[in-house]
Structure 1
């Protein structure tokens, strides 16, 4: 089973209105990038795990660290875990904090994959999302990454934003295809409690997203990408052959990973643990020589079974039929008869089932 290392960079230049991730703008936290890097190195020196098959630096905005900072992080991972031959090494990057020199620098440092937050190619939609880049910048950044030698480049898009039209989605897809990347992630907008967008929806300033709209948008995205040579391998992810994100497959296949950085989660054996969220507390604990773990959770066999079903059914490869308890087989057969599942030695969602994957999982687990 593959092993991954996840690094969380908790800093953003500005806060997007829809985001509820563990991130902080400069005015929200008393912690410098240098302090963060120093203490991240301390944490990695205290970490314990096998050689890494994948490394993924997410956030937040990892590109704010610059090529030198990201290179320093990768070196710390190499020094403390080691990298397996051919390891996949990914960083997320925001288009507005990258340039050709950045991509050249991280490629030289050993990164093999870049994931860029595009979200939309529509100026009004980017404004609603509080994104600061211009519509064409994500495509330009993807091309810069490819010129720097990156074979694997991902573009993230969000669909279902309030006021979004079908033409907005088509325009975004046109931009993505023009960038000639080998991976696309498309996520429906979730209006999270406590965010600026949730407050606007509650006040009636923005319409609430519609489930029917989400379904229509997903079908448009899937049809467009799949007709252009992309294949879905997870409900929200498409790639050209060989472009699948190996790090995320570790999550979806129930693999193990160590998470470092403020708020990062780890899954080692049947134990899950996560770090303190605030960078100041993170710095304080590591400066005292302590791992910054906030809480540990021992998973039961039932917990692990539930997660294997929940995550595995989102994959095109599905799950072995033998994983389904006998009590849930009638539910599986009912979804098969309705055209939502394919059932042989494995259980897999159909094209229709992809739209209802979460509900199918809920039905199966409730029957068990």
Structure 2
């Protein structure tokens, strides 16, 4: 199953130079790094991320991969210095794939190079995604000593038959062990859940939520399962082997998550994310939603620098070959128009609890506010105070809010 296709875009110069348009206003913009680790032991049936198992890697090995990322870091520095970017890193996120298939020392080496190359702000957030069965206490302690501050465990569910449908291989009993080990190491902990898997009942979902809450993580993410074309689970549905996703049941599951998490002291700050006491949001993900800059390192990784979006070639072998030749691994780019940037601003800000200031909308867009209040999609009191914040119903219909305002 090939991962999802890259977008269309204009070619990128072989040296990776960014368009002149990025220079205006770039100085001092918040800057983060995403490091893509594209390896998985097996590919989960629902996944269309740019990931590869050992048999799909060709000439690239997991052992040699960090060297390629280090080469892209050097290239990025040259490109960004030329563009006038001067901010140290505020957040770093190792995602995948399964970053923790690499030795902790390899991740720490990449982190150290990022620090030496760009600088890291004091108190910066450094996150690593992990499968529960790919780490132990010693691994987590090594991450913390190396400068990692946060780990995000892909729990997905506590119910065996749901995990089986998702092709997840970890033992649910393993999750509390690694969560506690991460806490003991001094790491902030996030637990990621998926709801709406075919065959998952509301009570199954309740069991997963209660299990996640019982571990007292700092943060919980709950994402609705989306069936992507070309995935194994999409083929199973097409053949009638499993049921289709029930949208109404997914809505009920979201409302249950918000209720249980709220009762347990978690506050939503983005449609799919809750932070304990409102104190532990994912600052890296918030940076995406707040239109800051980031460079995505690794095959298929996407970047955004001051209104210019670009993305790397997908396969690790093609990525390595470009860097071995001294060329940028970027496959294409697009410079967003002012209209596109405004549409994305509205779409992203209306996903957040902090909301969108009505004053930042043009006059013609403000005419939709009354309609949104009437349909109970935004908080009336907050709107009268000058800010658009979705209600619970509005969170379920977030796209309607964005369309109404753009």
TM-score normalised over the length of structure 1: 0.97
Distance across 2 between alignment mates of 1:99 and 1:358: 40
Structure 1 unaligned blocks of 5 or more: none
* CA deviations over 1:223-281 (Å, ceiling 9, x no partner): 00000100000010000132011111110111111111111111001111111111001
- Matching of residues 1-368 of structure 1 within 5 Å: 1-30=29-58, 31-47=60-76, 48=80, 49=85, 50-150=87-187, 152-240=188-276, 241-342=278-379, 343=383, 344-365=385-406
Distance across 1 between alignment mates of 2:230 and 2:364: 39
> Secondary structure at 1:317's aligned position in 2?
coil
> Secondary structure at 2:67's aligned position in 1?
helix
Distance across 2 between alignment mates of 1:66 and 1:188: 31
> Secondary structure at 2:102's aligned position in 1?
helix
Judge conservation of contact 2:310–2:333 (CA < 8 Å) in 1: yes
Distance across 2 between alignment mates of 1:24 and 1:362: 36
> Where does residue 18 of structure 2 map in the other structure?
none
Judge conservation of contact 2:202–2:249 (CA < 8 Å) in 1: no
> Where does residue 22 of structure 2 map in the other structure?
none
TM-score normalised over the length of structure 2: 0.88
> Secondary structure at 2:404's aligned position in 1?
helix
> Secondary structure at 2:63's aligned position in 1?
helix
> Secondary structure at 1:349's aligned position in 2?
coil
Distance across 2 between alignment mates of 1:120 and 1:218: 14
Structure 2 unaligned blocks of 5 or more: 1-28
Distance across 1 between alignment mates of 2:324 and 2:269: 42
Distance across 2 between alignment mates of 1:210 and 1:62: 32
* CA deviations over 1:12-64 (Å, ceiling 9, x no partner): 11000000000000011121112211110000011135310100010000000
Judge conservation of contact 1:35–1:283 (CA < 8 Å) in 2: no
* CA deviations over 1:107-136 (Å, ceiling 9, x no partner): 000000000000000000000000000112
Distance across 1 between alignment mates of 2:138 and 2:327: 36
Aligned residues: CA RMSD: 1.1
Distance across 1 between alignment mates of 2:65 and 2:304: 22
User: How far 1:171 sits from its partner (Å)?
Assistant: 1.1
Judge conservation of contact 2:358–2:388 (CA < 8 Å) in 1: yes
Judge conservation of contact 1:257–1:267 (CA < 8 Å) in 2: yes
* CA deviations over 1:147-170 (Å, ceiling 9, x no partner): 1111x1000000000000112111
